[in-house]
Structure 1
């Protein structure tokens, strides 16, 4: 009687109030810092390679009994100093660059135009298919008065789920990041490049970094313009008893149709197809590899019973288990291998991951230019001071980080120790606006320029247009249209109408009365 929903463009100029400002996920390509290894005595290249291969990349142990004994001693020291338990935490939790070191500054304006700055920002640390990454939820981190000055790790489950629609467009209403990748700390080379892997996604979505991520390299200033689109399924289709989830080919975002075991509201997620595919991967890894994948880490506020059962029953993937994990993640979401299905808790059956009935997606346009300009850089005093303070007051005060830093920048700490500028802690831009760059000598300026060129990457991410493209999926033929079309076709073909129906029943009744009258006579 009815046709499946037809995708049609309902309004090509809907307001940005109907969408969320996307969340931003940032991963340093390097997931193992040299200084972390140095602090715990890992100096032998064979020990370092074994640590990375066995606990991060996936391999069989190739150490002799004597080498294994020595390695275990180092591992015990490493675990103690970093408070790391390799049974329930992946290595990158303690080995990857901390967010406060990666994000020198994150800036966004409020609706009234006030600048909100987070310096050396310890944003929410999340586990993805790539590794340990930093996540910025723009509304919670900047726009919400109740949460903008909280530590993101302290957000409650209710706050994580409280993000509202209403995004602002324009260059000045985006978010500006100043990032430092610390390339001299690289000791893990999954790729032949250095930089950051960045993805933008729905705030309730866990981005699949290897599919959505794009690279940002140091020594470039990048602008990322977003064009947002929203797809909705009409309430007529969602509420109709004639349309099952499979027939309309989408699931309700509030989990009325489909409830995954791990990625749901109890772990701060709404239904999205990428979350469903993550859930499918976790389920399959537990089944085939008998271990917990590194990306199956959730907020400590979660009350999800399946997550608790998983953590009690299994340990984190290591060694050959990681090989099994990588074989599966290379087939992410593929129907051929059944990775497009997961358990629906509502029915306790394995069901397909479908798109959400209502969702948004982003089209990105990036452009970049060389950074920094040798002559203008000292005049960009906020960025200049943040970099200088980090090197002089943080890196050079840490013995291991200092050694790693000075292997790349010889005698760099001594050179910057006499830089008597930028002495106040970062609180606002004006506190550094008056320092005289002439107070710096040529060696200091040269080192600062070289460091920024090789490590620093400013990025601005913003919504371009003050409108979005809204696409509404609706019934191809509504009940009213169906009745009208049917009546029109019948009338056209045989002259049938509602009056004909009345006449039909009148003649039948009349005939029946006449027959009864004859019998009575």
Structure 2
């Protein structure tokens, strides 16, 4: 509205009849208009009487132009404010939208990471040795066929029969039936070979029957060096054991028949038999170990290298495995060699693995990559037979089940738990034994086992609670020639040779390597008396030449056959690793809250406000809908009435 137009409008209004109703209404509308525009003039005082208002207009006719100018300015400022408000609304709408989108994006990623995250293994702490189990030791003689065993059977020098036995019962390269394609020596024809094979099995059958041994049992239980012959003495926590049966048991492994030593147990006190509750006896092994060699386990072995028969290994000595007392030893993969004529220091560093309560309760075994003891039990390594669930046990079980399925036989070495399979399958021999050995050599490729808890096939995983033993071996020559005669093992070894080896089937192979040993010992009738206290005193023997001869012969034998292993805990503490959640529920909530707070200033109070306003909006919506419905109803009623 221009300035002249505004002035004419005000003057015309002042000249109108003051008392007319039209005039009053016009002034009233003008007053409202000016008041709403909030002019700086005094027209808001138009509530005065009509005469006063007329007089006011006349007196301030000169100011009407300024009031109109105020109106124009106010109207044009209102337009600018409307433009600024539009820009401001658009700007903040973009900001809020971007904040919501980015917050939603971050929340989606954080939630996705939480759902996908499982566990992580971290170093928890150092723990004392009171929480550590001292390991068991499994020792196998590399030689699994004694020459003296052939002497017992009556064909000590018959190489053909030795090869037949090796092929059929140890390596398993040929079938043990009459139709075998084994040709023996190059000078033999098929007919001669068949006769010798039949001869061998007749002799073997008679031998087993004479000893009341099942013909179906694997022959390696008879052909290997017995643990009694291998053992000289042992020391545990500074106490010496001379009786072999106190801390050993003959045990079948994937390599052959070995000797199992658990120093915490006195095996002679355990009623050994098919009904022996090994789960109970091994359950008595408690945690607790001490550091240092004096608190470790030492064993002196006689490998009887003179008694080595034909076998696949080209070396002589022992295979030794450090083992948990509830595990099946996997000798082909975990054992290390100990040579005769050496003393071996084996310091052990135990490492503990565990999982916290949240991991065990939140995740499935597949997600946490481990089983608890109650979640799985193996069919042929059951807990009732003194085993636990562990990865190596599971892999052995998987290979064992594969042998039963593919080779249609049961390995004869596995009698503790595997006897259930031997009742259903024949013992692996000949071609089936070759099939069995091939699968055992590929142990680790098979990782599915039958779980007797849920009666379903499961994948092999680790145990949530475990102890791993790392070690290294240092070796020195043994024995020392100058001091050996003064040590107690000199008399112990001489007593064994005189009373056992020289008096039995082993004398023949012994004399083929040490021809004068037995003769030298027998030349001193009171040798046992001289060694009654396990101390050799040359000065008490009248014939010094005989004494010197005995010393030299026993030393040469010891240098070729004796081996010592000293196993002890190296450090006075153990590391413990713990499986924990990669992202716990609390961490997820805190992370999500931080991201939403960063993007939108979000908090629990904001959430309460959003819920509150949503509730108000919903209430108003339903309230307006109800009012509209009532209005429509009233209108319909009025129309019907009219």
TM-score (norm 2): 0.72
Report if aligned partners of 1:106, 1:118 keep a CA contact under 8 Å in 2: yes
Aligned to 1:369: 476
User: Aligned partners of 1:393, 1:433: CA distance in 2, in Å?
Assistant: 17
Q: How does 1:79-158 map to 2 (within 5 A)?
A: 79-87=208-216, 89-109=217-237, 115-121=239-245, 123-141=248-266, 150=269, 153=272, 156-157=277-278, 158=280
Mapped contact 1:263–1:269 kept (Cα < 8 A) = yes
Q: Does the residue aligned with 1:93 lie in a helix, a strand or coil?
A: helix
Matched, 1:258 2:386: no
Partner of 1:492: 598
Are residues 1:409 and 2:514 paired? Answer: yes
Contact preservation (8 Å) 2:277, 2:384 = no
Work out whether 1:50 is the aligned partner of 2:164: yes
Over 3 Å counting, the alpha-carbon distance change for 1:118 and 1:491 in structure 2 is farther
Aligned with residue 358 of structure 1, among 457, 465, 475: 465
What's the offset of the Cα at 1:268?
A: 1.0
CA distance in 1, matches of 2:337, 2:352: 25
Spell out, residue by residue over 1:11-46, the C-alpha distance to the aligned partner (whole angstroms, 9 max, x if none).
1x2112222111100000011111121012123211
Whether contact under 8 Å (1:177, 1:460) holds in the other structure is yes
Equivalence for 2:137: 24
Contact 1:104–1:121 (8 Å) recurs in 2: no
Structure 1 position 309, deviation (Å): 4.7
| Equivalent residues of 1:280, 1:340 under 8 A apart | yes
2:369 to 249, 253, 270: 249
- The structure that has the greater radius of gyration is 2
Q: Verify: 1:314 aligned to 2:428, yes or no.
A: no
Matches of 2:270 and 2:355, distance apart in 1: 37
Give the whole-Å Cα distance in 2 for the aligned partners of 1:425 and 1:251.
55
The higher-RCO structure (CA 8 Å, 6+ apart) is 1
Residue 53 of structure 1, CA deviation: 1.1
3-state SS of 1:17 partner: helix
572, 575, 590: which is aligned to 1:469? 575
Aligned partners of 2:395, 2:534: CA distance in 1, in Å? 47
**Alpha-carbon distance in structure 1 between the residues aligned to 2:148 and 2:342:** 26
Cα contact 1:105–1:121 (8 A) shared by 2: no
Shift of 1:468: 0.8
Which of 538, 553, 560 lines up with 1:454 in the alignment? 560
Q: List gaps (5 residues or longer) in structure 2.
A: 1-113, 183-189, 631-642
Cα shift readout 1:380-411 (whole Å, capped 9, x = no counterpart): 1x21111000001111221x212221121113
Q: Secondary structure at the match of 1:397?
A: coil
Shift in CA distance, 219/501, structure 1 to aligned 2, threshold 3 Å? same
Report the counterpart of residue 35 of structure 1 in structure 2: 148
Distance 1:270 1:437 in 2: 56
Which residue in the other structure is 1:343 paired with?
Answer: 450
Alpha-carbon distance in structure 2 between the residues aligned to 1:344 and 1:425? 56
Separation (CA, whole Å) in 1 of partners of 2:529 and 2:270? 25
Task: Tell me, in whole angstroms, the C-alpha distance in 2 between the residues paired with 1:14 and 1:106.
Answer: 29
Tell me whether 312-321 or 414-423 shows the greater mean CA deviation: 414-423
Change over 3 Å in CA distance of 1:20–1:214 after alignment to 2: same
CA positional deviation for 1:85: 2.5
- 1:513 to partner: Cα distance: 4.4
Residues 319-377 of structure 1: CA distance to partner in whole angstroms, max 9, x if unpaired?
Answer: 1111111221221111xxxx121112233333211111111111112111111111110
Query: Displacement of 1:512 after TM fit?
Result: 4.0
Matches within 5 A, 1:298-337: 298=416, 307=418, 309-334=420-445
Mark the CA change 1:228 to 1:207 in structure 2 (over 3 Å): closer, same or farther.
Answer: same
* Partner residue, 2:534: 432
Number of residue-to-residue matches in the alignment? 488
Q: 2 CA distance for matches of 1:204 and 1:192?
A: 31
Match of 1:223 in 2: 345
Residue 140 of structure 1 aligns to a residue whose secondary structure is coil
Aligned mates of 2:582, 2:166 — CA distance in 1? 55
Which has a greater percent of helix? 2
Cα distance in structure 1, aligned partners of 2:233 and 2:286:
25
Distance 1:324 1:133, change over 3 A: same
Aligned alpha-carbon RMSD (Å): 2.2
Which region of structure 1 is more displaced relative to structure 2, 458-467 or 410-419? 410-419
Structure 2: distance between partners of 1:25 and 1:358: 22
Q: Does 1:396 align with 2:502?
A: yes
1:279 is matched with 397
Residue 610 of structure 2 corresponds to which residue in structure 1?
504
Distance 2:252 2:622 in 1: 84
Q: State whether residues 86 and 316 of structure 1, in contact with CA within 8 Å, keep that contact through their aligned partners in structure 2.
A: no
Give the superposition deviation at 1:66: 2.6
Tell me the CA shift for residue 105 of structure 1: 0.6
* Aligned-residue offset at 1:107: 1.1
Q: How far does residue 216 in structure 1 lie from its aligned partner after superposition?
A: 0.5
CA distance in 1, matches of 2:241, 2:299: 10
The 1:417–1:152 alpha-carbon spacing in structure 2 relative to 1, beyond 3 Å, is farther
Aligned-pair CA distance for 1:151: 5.3
Give the Cα separation in 1 of the matches to 2:539 and 2:456: 67
TM-score (norm. length: structure 1) = 0.89
Post-superposition CA distance 1:270-293 (Å, at most 9, x none): 101111111111111111111111
**CA contact under 8 A between 2:380 and 2:420: conserved in structure 1?**
no
Shift of 1:435: 4.1
Compared CA separation, residues 483 and 248, structure 1 to 2 (3 A): same
Q: What's the offset of the Cα at 1:101?
A: 0.8
Partner Cα distance (1:309, 1:192) in 2: 35
Post-superposition CA distance 1:120-157 (Å, at most 9, x none): 4472111111000000112214xxxxx6x525846632
